[in-house]
Structure 1
Amino acid sequence: MATPGPLRRTYRWSAAHAPWSAWAWRNTALVAASVPLALPVALALTYLALHPGGTLKALAAVLVLSPLLTALQRSRFWSLTGHDIPKIHWPHPWYRRHGLLSRLRAGTMWRQYGYHLLVSPLAALGGALVVIGWAAGAGFALVFSWVWALPPSARPPGWSERYVAFTVLGVLLLLATPALAALVARLDAGAATALLGPSRAKELERRVENLAESRADILDAADLERRRIERDLHDGAQQRLVSLAMNLGIARATLTDLPPEARAVIDEAHREAKEAIEELSNLVRGLHPAVLEDRGLDAAISGIAARAPFPVDLTVDLVQRPSPTVEAVAYFVVSETLANIAKHAHATRCSVHVRRHAALLTITVGDNGIGGADPAGGTGLLGLHKRVGSIDGTLTINSPHGGPTTITVELPCGL
């Protein structure tokens, strides 16, 4: 007959938390190892109690030994329980002037001193109680064995009844000591994580900085990949299409004795090849035009404005050229916005103003069209939102029904 579920769980829990279990001895080893690590602080406090005038010496000793004690405490938790306390990253070594000053000013360093001066002695006291509990429990539980090992003449009269209480006390101590060790270990681990490691705010700030750097690297890699695709299309497929169109043009001009059906096929192929070249050129220009890399954002946007089917009032004021990633996003914004205006706005004129002030690039595009631009109504404006948001930019659309429409984009130039 199978053991019922609750009984099986109770048996497994009891076996896993018994005095002879790995759980009990792992916690005991952790709290017992805290005793020698608290000795330097205990000696410093003892010296302070015996020599009140040596306060500065005692505190200086704790300050000097604090980095070593912190490393040993982190190693204690990692080697005995696998609990990893994150290491604090300092910009300068401690033995340099800026490194020492930054540590003395940082709250994380003073939290470490608080652990070594307050928590570590208390944890060592708990560890000593755990060790005493194990020793006393084993000694009391085996009291019958100690007396039985004596010669009969040396045994006290009535010893078997007299030492029953000691045996019961020893068994209770052996059962309670693992729980005490677990409690001390848990409190010690929580205090060490909170005081010896970096603060949660600092850790989140560091992670945000790492994520921002990683995202900037990814954006740069994507921009380089777009340039490679543009170069491959320009030097490969586009040149092949140009060669094909030339050959078809030569064939149409020289092969005059072909049947009308064959000439019609050549004419159609020649026309399709020229249209494919034009579409590929527009695609390449939309990916990353060569003029953007060679001459910058002003020249690239000027080319877009010149090809627009309506007059464009263009103003570009760039004191300093932004990074290639920001330039690519700005070019995409202007190109996509003018394309949307040409398709949907029914505008007769448009204005584009690009201005950089400090670390912010502002793009303002306005038209006199019918308005009603809504990101939820199509993928064009939604794509703009995503592309601008990829570098922490903002996009604002003011487009009432009946017009006019104004789109304002702000891009940070810190990337």
Structure 2
Amino acid sequence: MDITATPTPRWRQAPLIALRGFWAGASWRALMHLVTGSIIGLLSGFILIILAMAAVAGALTVIIPLGAGAAIFALSGALTLVQRSRHTAFLGAEWPDTAPLRPVTLAPKALLEVLRRPRTWRHLSYHAITAVYSPIAAFFAIGAWTAGPMMMAAPLMGLRSGLETRHWWLLGVGVLVLIGAPWLGRGLAEIDSLLARALLGTSRTETLEARVSDLAASRESTVDAADAERRRIERDLHDGAQQRLTSLAMNLGIARATLTDLPEGGAKALEEAHEEAKQVLTDLRDLVRGLHPAVLEDRGLDAALSAVAARSPVPTRLRVDMDRRVARDIEAVAYFVVSEALTNAAKHSRAKSATVDITISGSRLLLRVTDDGRGGADPERGTGLQGLADRVRSVEGTFHLSSPLGGPTTIEAELPCAS
């Protein structure tokens, strides 16, 4: 025999659900939330009204409105912390991490900064609303808890004279009011919670701004970590592999000069090994120089790019107009953009001349590299142009390439360099 438990119909569970509100912790926390909210709301509302009246009364002066305004905003910030903690303690609300509250001063500039923030007016609106709503909500919640038992006790008061119909009506209504009291309190507390989430919480714009700030900080830390790793690799290559290759090339040169009686095959092999060692050493030096030249660190972008222009197979005219040095990562990006652009001009464009112009305009470093080659440069063909664009964007700069067929090719970049 298959015995299957039959679920209890929901209409039979309704009395148990209704009575559950009496022993549910959420009901009592909601009641305490409303009671404490009414006390805070009455006190804060009274103080805010006094301060507002003082500001209006002293409108003919300057110091009184400024002082009253500063006090209102300071009180609003303190009340925000108190109300948030109340919602967290009784309703389990969670609040996003925000910047700490700054002390409000009498300086007009500081007050204007506070006035411009939408968050200021949202918080102040909540405190103004709850100054009225919280006492009313607490009155109805406490009234339901007290009126219900009093109405249920009415028939007992009429026992001596006999029970009348109105007594039974009071008994029934009292039972309903008492059963509904927990749910009424929870509903009123939920309304307050909705108001708090809308006005004391973080708006979508503020959330996006915080996200952008986090991403910017993460990008900066990533760039710093990559820069530190690059420096470590440069140091290891310079102090390790480069020194050993230099010693090897010297030993091969000495052997080549002293061992003159070797067979023709051995002498040729020794000569090839010596030339190969020198070429590898040259390539390694170029690699180390390309990672981050010491002259860029020591003397800045002008000196480093002068060396690049001097080494370039394409005759290059360089003009650097900078009244100050910029951030280290910005200098590195500008250096690599110019180096890669001149390398491409020599390898791919068959250019006969190139020009490099670097200037500072306000808070932007303007970079322009032009060559008179055949043009047609395409980032999709793997010439490193896409990597240049990505490197420029990594520091929140802009990159533009113009390379029609027949030339000229122009690379322009704008890099932030706020002092």
The two structures have a TM-score, normalised by structure 1, of 0.80
Asked if 1 retains the 8 angstrom alpha-carbon contact of 2:41 and 2:130, the reply is no
- The match for 1:122 is 133
2:146 partner amino acid: A
Deviates more, 1:249-258 or 1:232-241: 249-258
Residue 291 of structure 2 is aligned to residue 287 of structure 1? yes
Residue 93 of structure 2 is aligned to residue 83 of structure 1? yes
Residues 394/53 of structure 1: CA separation in 2 closer, same or farther (3 Å cut): closer
Q: List runs of 5+ in structure 1 lacking aligned partners.
A: none
In the TM superposition, 1:87-98 aligns within 5 A as 89=99, 92-94=102-104, 97=107
Distance across 2 between alignment mates of 1:286 and 1:101? 51
Residue 81 of structure 2 is aligned to residue 71 of structure 1? yes
1:28 partner amino acid: L
Q: CA deviation at 1:331?
A: 0.3
- The match for 2:385 is 381
Q: List runs of 5+ in structure 2 lacking aligned partners.
A: 59-64
Residues 242/211 of structure 1: CA separation in 2 closer, same or farther (3 Å cut): same
- The match for 2:27 is 24
- The match for 2:351 is 347
SS class of match (2:139): helix
In the TM superposition, 1:394-409 aligns within 5 A as 394-409=398-413
SS class of match (1:352): strand
Any runs of at least 4 consecutive aligned residues in structure 1 with deviations exceeding 6 A, and if so which? 2-8, 45-48, 52-55
The two structures have a TM-score, normalised by structure 2, of 0.79
In the TM superposition, 1:12-411 aligns within 5 A as 18-19=20-21, 20-41=23-44, 43=46, 63=72, 65-85=75-95, 89=99, 92-94=102-104, 97=107, 101-102=111-112, 105-106=115-116, 108-137=119-148, 143=153, 147=156, 154=159, 157-158=162-163, 164-196=168-200, 201=205, 204-205=208-209, 208-209=212-213, 211-258=215-262, 262-378=266-382, 380-411=384-415
1:337 partner amino acid: A
Identity rate, percent = 44
Asked if 2 retains the 8 angstrom alpha-carbon contact of 1:66 and 1:112, the reply is yes
Q: CA deviation at 1:41?
A: 4.1
1:303-361 Cα offsets, whole Å, 9 max, x none, are 11222222112222112221111100000101111122222212222221112222211
Q: CA deviation at 1:209?
A: 4.6
Residues 131/332 of structure 1: CA separation in 2 closer, same or farther (3 Å cut): same
Distance across 2 between alignment mates of 1:334 and 1:17? 78
How well do the aligned residues superpose, as a CA RMSD in angstroms?
4.0
Q: CA deviation at 1:390?
A: 0.7
Distance across 1 between alignment mates of 2:249 and 2:48? 91
Deviates more, 1:387-396 or 1:337-346: 337-346
Distance across 2 between alignment mates of 1:187 and 1:284? 66
Deviates more, 1:67-76 or 1:317-326: 67-76
Deviates more, 1:293-302 or 1:131-140: 131-140
Distance across 1 between alignment mates of 2:105 and 2:413? 48
Q: CA deviation at 1:288?
A: 0.4
Distance across 2 between alignment mates of 1:45 and 1:362? 53
Q: How many residues align?
A: 402
Deviates more, 1:88-97 or 1:270-279: 88-97
Distance across 2 between alignment mates of 1:285 and 1:46? 69
